[in-house]
Structure 1
Amino acid sequence: MLLLQAYNQHANVSVVLFFGTIGMLALTIGLIVFIIFHQRKVIRYQMTLQKMENEQQKMLLNASIRLQEEERQRIAADLHDDAGPLLATARLYLNENLVNLDKTTQLQSIYNAKQIIDDTIQLIRNISHSLMPPTLKNFGLESAVNDTFQKISGSGNINASSRFHDYKERLPIDNELIVFRVVQELINNILKHSNASFIHLTQNTNGNKFYIRMHHDGKGMTQKDFEKLTKSASGLGLKNIQSRLKVLQGRIFFEKDQSQTYYKVTIELHREEPTA
């Protein structure tokens, strides 16, 4: 009798152990399956993000290429439509028959040709200045931005002001040009679309961070609006801003003030610490 009870107890323990093992095995398999499916889901999500990032990079690259192509086409058009006819006209005054003309006519032709050549030189100088403004090249970003805001304010249509608080060490000239073009594009957007009564720009640094902030009281956008437009087929100007700042590993932020009275745009750049 005792032997039978012991046998039954042993059998019960074996059954419990068997089903317990089956349960643990099922739980382990379920956990492994869950991990596998979760990993696959994470991988698919990462691939989707990577695809979106690649598409965004492609859009920025295309925007940059279009910007450069538009610049080249504009310069080519200016040279072809304006400089070309001027030089062709000057050539007419200085043709091979000039030596056969009387002295008065010769002097008049030479004078006319000189005037045309002077106009052509000024035209080419203007094209050169549009590529690299002389104030920026000779005196730096602060002077170029202040000069721009003074001209805007001088028009009498809008109150414009700018102030650089601690621009002691200039950025490299190529970087200054990029920042200046971004500021120009932002100003252009504000003047065209915002109907603002004032624009105010400030500059400051914090450690190795360089900031330019623009405030205006017109119609503006938030960061969500900006990101939406840069991912759409439109908004070429904003894509140009983003692609230019990407060269400098910079960022731009659009927001509305907590008082809901004005919009603020912040450009943030990382500047290298000067070597000892």
Structure 2
Amino acid sequence: MTFLQSDVTATPLLLGTIGMLFLAIALITFIIFHQRKVIRFQLKMQQMESEQQKILLRASIKLQEEERQRIAADLHDDAGPLLATARLYLTENMVNLDKATQLQSIFSAKQIIDEAIQLVRNISHSLMPPTLKNFGLESAVNDFFQKINGAGAINVNCRFHDYKVRLKAEKELIVFRVIQELINNILKHSNSSFIHLTQHNGEDNMIIRLHHDGRGLTHEDFIKMSKSNTGLGLKNIQSRLKVIHGDILFEQDPSKSFYKATIDIPKEYDEK
């Protein structure tokens, strides 16, 4: 009788032990498969991030190359012929000409050289607008907006709430180019009636926000377009901001009455 009771008591214990063993094996198997899944996901995210970095790098290189080609074309097509023409007036044969003809040739050459100087100055201004260089981002944006308002097609305005200390010149230029690109995209594609820009300072960053009431982008749209073969302007914005460790967020207001783009720029960052 005691032996039978012992068997009856041992059976549930054995079954419980086997059940716990199966549960432990199942849990270990689940953890292993889950970890493998997490690793695969992380590898996929790293691959996607690497691809995105390559896209941004290609966009940045293409942008720089386009700017170089534009400058080269302006110098070759405009400045080159002007200087070649000026040279025609300043030949060795001038010494054999009468004084009046010499003076006329010098005067004509001077006019052409002055025109070439102005052309080179214009090219230089396109690289670094003089208002931006001399007076800073706020003045440059105000000047840019005044020119747009002068056309009378759209109402644009901006307000800098606290820009007493200027960013570094290179950073100001990048931020200004990003603002220009955003404004140009809005003017081309959104059919807006107004654009409003504001600037605020945080503790360690500066926020610039653009509002407009036309067709706009959500951040999902921005990500899709920046990864596609189209949307070069958006890639340029992203690649420029990457250089200064900045970020941008596209949103539609909850009221669905306007869209906004928010640029977040660190005031200081480690350049090493």
TM-score range, shorter chain: over 0.9
CA drift of 1:19 comes to 3.1
The residue aligned with 2:55 is 59
Secondary structure of the 1:212 match is: strand
Q: Which runs of 5+ in 2 are unaligned?
A: none
Cα–Cα, structure 1 residues 20 and 258, in superposed 2: closer, same or farther, change >3 Å?
closer
1:143 is aligned to 2:139: yes
TM-score by length of 2: 0.94
How big is each residue's C-alpha offset from its partner over 1:239-269, in whole Å with a ceiling of 9 and x where there is no partner? Answer: 1101111122211122222332222111111
**SS of the counterpart of 2:162?**
coil
- Please name the residue that 1:96 is paired with: 92
Partner in structure 2 of residue 253 of structure 1 = 249
- The answer to which of 19-28 and 230-239 deviates more is 19-28
Q: Which residue of 2 aligns with 1:28?
A: 24
Partner secondary structure for residue 201 of structure 1: strand
Q: After TM superposition, what 4+ stretches of structure 1 lie above 4 angstroms from structure 2?
A: none
Deviates more, 1:230-239 or 1:214-223: 214-223
CA distance in 1, matches of 2:22, 2:218: 52
How far does residue 209 in structure 1 lie from its aligned partner after superposition?
2.5
Per-residue deviation at 1:23? 2.3
Superposed, 1:152-167 pairs within 5 Å as 152-167=148-163
The aligned runs of 1:73-152 (5 Å cut-off) are 73-152=69-148
Give the equivalent residue in structure 2 for 1:45.
41
Letter in 1 for 2:80: G
Q: How does 1:205-244 map to 2 (within 5 A)?
A: 205-244=201-240
1:69 alignment partner in structure 2: 65
- After superposing the two structures, state which structure 1 stretch, 257-266 or 108-117, moved more: 257-266
SS of match in other structure, 2:159: strand
Gaps of 5+ in 1: none
1:18, CA displacement in angstroms? Answer: 3.2
Cα distance in 2 between the residues matched to 1:44 and 1:65: 31
Matches within 5 A, 1:193-204: 193-204=189-200
> Is 1:16 aligned to 2:12, yes or no?
yes
| Deviation at residue 123 of structure 1 after TM alignment | 0.8
Residue type at the aligned position of 1:88: A
Q: CA RMSD in A?
A: 1.5
- SS, match of residue 167 in structure 1: coil
* AA in 2 matched with 1:143: S
Q: Which amino acid aligns with 2:196?
A: H
Supply the distance in 2 between the matched residues of 1:258 and 1:42 (Cα, whole angstroms): 35
Bigger mean CA deviation after superposition, 38-47 or 213-222 = 213-222
Post-superposition Cα deviations, 1:167-206, rounded to whole Å, max 9, x if no partner, equal: 1111111111110000000111111111222212111113
Task: Determine the C-alpha separation between the residues in 1 that align with 2:4 and 2:213.
Answer: 88
Shift of 1:41: 0.7
1:68 is displaced (CA, Å) by: 0.5
Identify which range, 243-252 or 14-23, moves more after superposition: 14-23
- Cα drift, residue 12 of structure 1: 3.3
How far, CA to CA, are the matches of 1:259 and 1:14 in structure 2? 70
Equivalent-residue separation in structure 2 for 1:35 and 1:198 (angstroms)? 55
Between the aligned residues of both structures, percent identity stands at 70
Bigger Rg, structure 1 or 2: 1
Structure 1 residue 158, shift from structure 2 partner: 1.6
- Give the paired residue count: 269
TM-score (norm 1): 0.93
